[in-house]
Chains A and B, each alone.
Chain A
Amino acid sequence: MNKELKIFGVVAFFTLLLYWGVEPFAHGQMHKHVDFNNFVYDGKADIAAAPADKKEAKETFWKEVGEISKLKGDPVAGEATYAMCTGCHMEGAPNMGGVIPPVLDNAGAIYDKNYLIALIKDPAMASNVDHKYADTMTHPMGSIKSMVSQPQDIANVVAYLKEKKAGAVTPKQAYEQACGRCHANRYVNWTQLGTVPKTEKNLATGIDVDALKFKQAVAEEQALVADYMGKLPPDLSIIIRARSHHFLETIVENPQSQLAGTAMPRVGLNEQGFEKVMEYLEVSGDPSKVARDALGPWVIGFFVLFTILAYLWKSSLWRDLH
């Protein structure tokens, strides 16, 4: 018996060593280290990674953002200024300059305050994709710089969003508003144009014309997004199986950190917003979790019982052999 345990120890040792080597160790070596800033948007990483000629501009920008953040915003005045935003940020808005402007119904709840300030001040800088707009191209939301330019106005609009657009938000809303205009999620029927509508096929021809029309509209929208972004952003149906939690939180916080030069803008989610998005990604990417957790203890319990009975059986047969 002692000898068997010793042999088992040797087998277990080498098995665990093998596991450690090919899993935690190898994966730790394979992926570059990226610092996570806990969804604090202070531009630190942007400035550090900026080329020499852009460093100063970025430093000034984020310093000014910090100053505006200290101002006390007036939500009532902010609401009046916000009226300008609704011209684009509305339900059913068309593609503008490559992407559909997001609905801001939950903006105060899911986006960080500092990020919102930065975004109104200079969208390309805030989302850390200013490298994309070096030539004649301008950011689709670039006009905001001339529309809301005074620090107090910016503080007011953000105060309004934080007070009036910060109600309860569902995981679905968080995903749709923060990610869903670029990233489809086919496992939950989400497209860049919204949820796939229920349609019916013509019984005589067997063809669903409305579904085809919707497909075409989606294809056209995807072409616009792909043209603007350089490629079609990936479907996120099972991204939580394909990327680690750390990868997702760091790429959401600062896309450049994981994919240098990417066209993906930072969307400025706060911790709550990120958690809601992750919850939704779990719904589409790992829907069996609940069932696994419910069934697991029963199956394992069965085999524990099985093993005990097998041991008793074995003991009864082997008792007199030695």
Chain B
Amino acid sequence: MARIENAKSVNEWLDQRIGLNTLKKVMQTEYWIPKNINFLWAMGMVLAATFGLLTISGIFLLMYYQPHVDHAFDSVNYLIMTEVGYGWLWRHIHGIGASLVFLIIYIHMFVGIYYGSYKKGRELIWISGMLLFVLFSAEAFSGYMLPWGQMSYWAGMVITNLFAGGSLEAVGLVEWIRGDYVPAQAFLTRFFMLHVFLLPLVIIGAIVFHFGTLRIPHVNNQDGEDFDYEEHAELYKAGKVKESKVIPFSPVFLSKDVFVMGVYFILFFYLVFYHFNFAMDPVNFDPANGLNTPAHIYPEWYFLWSYEILRPFPTDPGLVAFAIAQVIFFMLPFLDRSPNVAPANRRGLFHIWFWVMLVDLLVLTVMGKLPPEGIWNVIGFWAAIVFFALWIALPFITKAEKKL
């Protein structure tokens, strides 16, 4: 039994019951972050803030959205956009947020790859992060179904068809996923449930886990330097802040995060008010119509690179390639055989690997949107080959890397 005495303040009252002061220390003032960082270290909090915006805007949209094949389209495009006060604002925030959250996730990922932040005890940070990427992808896809426009319907058709497994012809599985022969009411309602309940719930759990995995191996720094956190924490607490290599999460690290968030929000709301069409595909403003396939079906930009890995190959190899591409990033900490935790520019061949991979994903992304014809097909095919060649080469070039 804890020592409960007459508390002189709310703070003390809470401290006696939930250890508030200890909690504050552990989570904020004595949660140590390296000082040698740049603004890219703020992407985690930027992501958390974007997830917050998505949740809040989502709650408001949820109050008016109608998950019915006859009403979904108009509840989004008419009810929310016209009759609900500031409904358009919530929708634009939700749409822009869904697009930007992936931009920041990709930046966050490539920062991790560049600085080697997935190695030597940080494997679980990477893996839980990749798990979040997959969960966000599922969340984005399920949300994309809800306006029930042409792109919702046909993207739903195409993606669920993948589960037939090509020559396996597992149509039974596809029908089970859809709850019908084609995307219809059962399909819409279950993706609605996934989008507003199950997936967000799992995402929140995964975010907590992701934060948890940071605690013991600590956040990486710009030089991949390994130092004694306890020692530097003591230095900081003793007032020797210049000598100390660490800063407390709150308020020092947070103050920089908040500044970066501010810059990000300027961009975010500029897009919300003046430049939102890229996040809301024009094709999805035609109501779902199972009798009329759009001329071009393509996913949102953040899925394009993996779509392009599926597309240039025949059905079965394409599906295998696609499946591998979905999970290969999980394997990064184990395929990188180098002991060095250092920024890529100090790692010889890996430096080249990094930029080729980045450019290759960009090329795949652009090709994924273009019609699969002529030269685009050829470029897409070779970019997909390069993608796999890079992963095959990774263990060898990192094994050969000199120890720093």
Number of residues of chain A lying within 8 A (CB) of chain B: 49
Residues of A near B2 (CB, < 8 A) are none
**Cross-chain contact A242 with B256 (CB below 8 angstroms):** no
> Is residue A317 contacting chain B, with contact meaning CB distance below 8 A?
yes
Segment touching A, from B161-169, B279-287, B387-395: B279-287
> Is residue A133 contacting chain B, with contact meaning CB distance below 8 A?
no
Given contacts A21-B362, A296-B273, A303-B265, contact A321 B252 (CB under 8 A): yes
* Minimal beta-carbon separation of B364 from chain A (angstroms): 10
> Is residue A30 contacting chain B, with contact meaning CB distance below 8 A?
yes
> Is residue A71 contacting chain B, with contact meaning CB distance below 8 A?
no
Contact residue among A4, A18, A296, A318 (Cβ-Cβ distance under 8 Å from B301)? A18
Contact residue among A18, A314, A322 (Cβ-Cβ distance under 8 Å from B256)? A314
Residues of A near B77 (CB, < 8 A) are 187, 237-238, 241
**Cross-chain contact A321 with B82 (CB below 8 angstroms):** no
User: What 1/0 flags go to A311-322 for Cβ under 8 Å of B?
Assistant: 101100110111
User: What 1/0 flags go to B60-88 for Cβ under 8 Å of A?
Assistant: 00000000000000100110011000101
**Cross-chain contact A300 with B266 (CB below 8 angstroms):** yes
B:119-164 near A, CB below 8 Å: none
> Is residue B54 contacting chain A, with contact meaning CB distance below 8 A?
no
Contact residue among B256, B269, B273, B362 (Cβ-Cβ distance under 8 Å from A318)? B256
**Cross-chain contact A11 with B107 (CB below 8 angstroms):** yes
**Cross-chain contact A310 with B362 (CB below 8 angstroms):** no
> Is residue A299 contacting chain B, with contact meaning CB distance below 8 A?
yes
Residues of A near B232 (CB, < 8 A) are none
* Minimal beta-carbon separation of B39 from chain A (angstroms): 6
Contact residue among B74, B81, B103, B273 (Cβ-Cβ distance under 8 Å from A299)? B273
Residues of B near A288 (CB, < 8 A) are 81-82, 88
* Minimal beta-carbon separation of A47 from chain B (angstroms): 27
Given contacts A242-B285, A287-B81, A318-B256, contact A22 B265 (CB under 8 A): no
Residues of A near B242 (CB, < 8 A) are 320-322
The chain B residue with its CB closest to the CB of A19 is B278
A:215-238 near B, CB below 8 Å: 234, 237-238
> Is residue A7 contacting chain B, with contact meaning CB distance below 8 A?
yes
**Cross-chain contact B273 with A295 (CB below 8 angstroms):** yes
Interface centre among B40, B304, B369 (most CB of A within 10 A): B369
Q: Give CA–CA (A30, B301) in the complex, Å.
A: 15
Given contacts A306-B265, A311-B259, A317-B251, contact A23 B278 (CB under 8 A): yes
A:1-16 near B, CB below 8 Å: 3-4, 7-8, 11, 14-15
> Is residue B262 contacting chain A, with contact meaning CB distance below 8 A?
yes
> Chain B at the A interface: mostly helix, strand, loop or mixed?
helix
> Is residue A304 contacting chain B, with contact meaning CB distance below 8 A?
yes
Given contacts A242-B282, A288-B81, A299-B273, contact A307 B365 (CB under 8 A): no
> Is residue B6 contacting chain A, with contact meaning CB distance below 8 A?
no
The chain A residue with its CB closest to the CB of B107 is A11
Residues of A near B272 (CB, < 8 A) are 299
The chain A residue with its CB closest to the CB of B247 is A321
Residues of B near A214 (CB, < 8 A) are none
> Is residue A244 contacting chain B, with contact meaning CB distance below 8 A?
yes
**Cross-chain contact B255 with A317 (CB below 8 angstroms):** yes
> Is residue B274 contacting chain A, with contact meaning CB distance below 8 A?
yes
The chain B residue with its CB closest to the CB of A8 is B39
Given contacts A14-B358, A310-B262, A314-B259, contact A303 B282 (CB under 8 A): no
Contact residue among B107, B247, B278, B370 (Cβ-Cβ distance under 8 Å from A29)? B370
Residues of B near A30 (CB, < 8 A) are 296, 369-371
**Cross-chain contact A22 with B39 (CB below 8 angstroms):** no
User: What 1/0 flags go to A30-56 for Cβ under 8 Å of B?
Assistant: 100000000000000000000000000
Q: Give CA–CA (A304, B265) in the complex, Å.
A: 9
Q: Give CA–CA (A112, B361) in the complex, Å.
A: 50
Residues of B near A322 (CB, < 8 A) are 242
**Cross-chain contact B273 with A187 (CB below 8 angstroms):** no
> Is residue B332 contacting chain A, with contact meaning CB distance below 8 A?
no
Q: Give CA–CA (A4, B256) in the complex, Å.
A: 13
User: What 1/0 flags go to B274-311 for Cβ under 8 Å of A?
Assistant: 10001010110110000000001000010010000000
User: What 1/0 flags go to A179-211 for Cβ under 8 Å of B?
Assistant: 000000011000000000000000000000000
Given contacts A14-B358, A26-B369, A241-B282, contact A307 B81 (CB under 8 A): no
Given contacts A26-B369, A242-B286, contact A307 B259 (CB under 8 A): yes
The chain A residue with its CB closest to the CB of B261 is A310
Residues of A near B177 (CB, < 8 A) are none
**Cross-chain contact A303 with B269 (CB below 8 angstroms):** yes
Interface centre among B40, B241, B263, B273 (most CB of A within 10 A): B273
> Is residue B113 contacting chain A, with contact meaning CB distance below 8 A?
no
**Cross-chain contact B263 with A292 (CB below 8 angstroms):** no
> Is residue A291 contacting chain B, with contact meaning CB distance below 8 A?
yes
> Is residue A17 contacting chain B, with contact meaning CB distance below 8 A?
yes
Q: Give CA–CA (A234, B149) in the complex, Å.
A: 14
> Is residue B337 contacting chain A, with contact meaning CB distance below 8 A?
no
Contact residue among A23, A292, A306 (Cβ-Cβ distance under 8 Å from B273)? A292
* Minimal beta-carbon separation of B148 from chain A (angstroms): 13
> Is residue B35 contacting chain A, with contact meaning CB distance below 8 A?
yes
**Cross-chain contact B304 with A22 (CB below 8 angstroms):** yes
* Minimal beta-carbon separation of B89 from chain A (angstroms): 7
**Cross-chain contact A304 with B266 (CB below 8 angstroms):** yes
Q: Give CA–CA (A7, B265) in the complex, Å.
A: 19
**Can you sample 23 A-B contacts with CB below 8 Å?**
A4-B39, A8-B39, A11-B40, A19-B278, A23-B278, A26-B369, A26-B370, A30-B370, A238-B285, A241-B285, A242-B285, A292-B274, A296-B269, A296-B273, A299-B272, A300-B270, A303-B265, A303-B266, A307-B263, A310-B259, A311-B259, A311-B262, A321-B252
Closest 5 CB pairs of A and B: A307-B262, A296-B273, A21-B366, A288-B88, A242-B285
